[in-house]
Structure formats: structure tokens, C-alpha cells
A = this chain, B = another copy of it.
Amino acid sequence: MNDVARLAGVSIKTVSRVVNDEPGVHPSTAERVLAAIDQLGFRRNLSARNLRRGSSTGTIGLVLEDVGNPFYSGVTRAVEEIARLRGRQVISGSSDEDPGRERELALEFCSRRVDGLLIVPAGLQHSYLVPEMRAGTPVVFLDRPAGDVVADTVLVDNIGGTVEAVTHLAAHGHRRIAFLGDAPDIFTANERLRGYREGCVRAGIGYHEELVAMGPHDESSVATTLQRLHTMREPATAVVAGNNRITVYVLRALAGVAERPALVGFDDFELADLLSPPVTVIAHDASALGKAATDLLFARLDGDNSPPRRVVLPVRLVPRGSGEVHA
């Protein structure tokens, strides 16, 4: 900026006026300045600007589990979209389900003075965020609630979803319905397990420990589990898969198997309708989740300081065939 000023033969302040479209600069002066800017390839330093103005940095931080997972990349897309409309950039990072990494990312973002933080919690401890929140950085948790702070949270109806899945399968005559869930310390996994259990009880088919296999899962553990479920004394005739990854593992394990159990998967996924049989799922909308959370964040930035809200988005069962197989 100094160089521009020298080249244009004006003071640095006048350059500032020009780049900020402030009134009161003579057109011919402005032109000289613009020419100098162009010649030198000057671009104003946003960090310095924000520092001086004490204003927003125009960024929001997004901590999620893994951008590579289509579910979270859908969330990311929605967040980006809304942020763009509000003139913000998104800084993001994947925690890989590691609480330490989540914390590291979140605090790093705070050091960068993001205007707000969107977090898919990996851990259960979020008191480390209390100073930041008290200092005025709004934080919204999504997909899972924070462990030990009260804060805005956007969830999906995990319990309702699995209740519905079990109910649906039971209505089609299944009485031995298995549940393959993620690691039980993950909030959503645990909730879905609760929903499964409640669904079983409501359907009058009882809750049987041996039909549940919580993760972490990989392709081979799922295959082994399905094998066990199939060969037990009273085999499972239906399976509820606890998330999109597990659903895929189940599908892989069942490929080529003649007697397939019925299947309902939590999370919708592309091509679910083109498989044979098409996969019945508990669908919810990643972009709705991202949008709801980001909207909430911006409401806070706009000065909304009502008590923390907890939003629960609905899920819906999409029957496609795999869950309608008769026992």
C-alpha cells in the first residue's frame, strides 16, 4: 500500500480510501491510484484490515468427522452455501473421531478468530470451549450434542428413526431383527441403539442382546457378525444397519448370498434405489442439517441471545424393497 501510494504520488490514506470506495477522492486521483494498484498487483491484506477494524474475520470454522464421507460432505456443502450468502469463508477440518484432534482444530480456529464455530463432536468434553463461548464466539454442535456444555445443537431424530425401522420390519413379519451399530460411545450410535431397543419392545418381539453388535466395525467384522447372526439357533431374519458405512459393509457381505436378511439402513445414500433389492433406509437430509446449524449460527451472529436451542430434524423411512422381504 505504501508502494502504491508512492507510485501514485498520494498518501497511503488516500489509497485506503480508494480501495474502500470511500467518497471524497477526486476522480483523477482515484484513477492514478487504481493504475498504480494494477501495476503493482496490490491486494489489500485482509488480516491487517480485520485487525485494525476489530471487526469480524469473515470466516467460520467447521469441524467434522470426515469430509470424505458423503454425509459430511453434504453438510459441508450446505454450510458453504449459506456462508457464501452471508459473505463468509469456511475453514474446515476432519477430526477422524479423535477428540484431541477435534479440540486442536476448534482451538486453532478460535486463534484465527473465526466468527463462529460449527462442530460435529468427536468427544464428550467441550468445556475447553467455555472461554471462547463466553468471549462471544457462537458455537453450534451438529449431528451430536456437546458433552458438558449447554449450547445450540442440531440433531436428527435418531431414536425415532430406528424405532420406525424396527416397527417397519416387524410389520413385515420379522421377529428376529438384528442391530449393527457404530461404537457405543458415539452419541448417534447409542441413540440409535436405544431406538432399536424401544422399537423391539413396542413391537412385542423383545430385546435380545445376542442380536446386537456395536462397533467400531469394518468390512470383515460386519461379515463375521452377519455369519454369526445367520447361523445362530434362531437366526436373525432382518438387520438394521446403524449408519451409511455399516450399510455398505452389510451390502458387501451379502453380495452373492442366497438367503439375504431384510435390511434397513440408517442414512440414505446415492444408488440405494438401484441396488437389487433396492435398499430401504431411514433418510435424513445432510444439507438440511448443515443449513439448520448454519442458520442458527448466523442468528447468533445477528445478535440472537435467547437460551440455547436444541433442534431435532425429522427422519423418514423410505421403503424400497430390502426391508419389505418377508421372513
Contacts and interface: CB of A to CB of B under 8 A. Distances in A.
Interface in A49-87: 50-51, 57, 59, 66-70, 73-74, 76-77, 80, 84
A111 B57 CA distance: 12
B67 A70 contact: no
Contact of A57 (B47, B131, B248, B252): B47
Interface stretch (A148-156, A234-242, A270-278, A294-302): A270-278
B57 A68 contact: no
Nearest to A42: B131
B51 A47 contact: yes
A46 B91 contact: no
A269 B70 CA distance: 11
A190 interface: no
A233 interface: no
A4 B98 CA distance: 31
Contact of A271 (B57, B69, B134, B251): B251
A48 interface: yes
Nearest to A270: B248
Instruction: Count the copies.
Output: 2
Interface in A260-304: 269-271, 273-276, 287
A93 B84 CA distance: 9
Q: Of residues A43, A74, A94, A113, which shows the largest number of chain B Cβ atoms within 10 Å of its Cβ?
A: A43
A200 to B, nearest CB: 28
A44 interface: yes
A134 B41 CA distance: 9
Given A113-B45, A113-B47, A73 B68 contact: yes
B84 A77 contact: no
A135 interface: yes
A172 interface: no
A228 interface: no
Contacts of A311: none
A183 interface: no
A124 interface: no
A86 to B, nearest CB: 13
A112 interface: yes
Given A41-B135, A73-B70, A47 B112 contact: yes
Contacts of A269: 271
Contacts of A94: 77, 80
Q: Of residues A131, A134, A269, A276, which shows the largest number of chain B Cβ atoms within 10 Å of its Cβ?
A: A131
A257 interface: no
A48 to B, nearest CB: 5
23 contacts: A41-B132, A43-B110, A44-B111, A47-B47, A47-B48, A48-B51, A51-B51, A67-B73, A67-B80, A68-B76, A68-B287, A69-B73, A70-B270, A73-B73, A80-B93, A84-B93, A90-B91, A92-B92, A251-B271, A251-B274, A269-B271, A275-B275, A276-B276
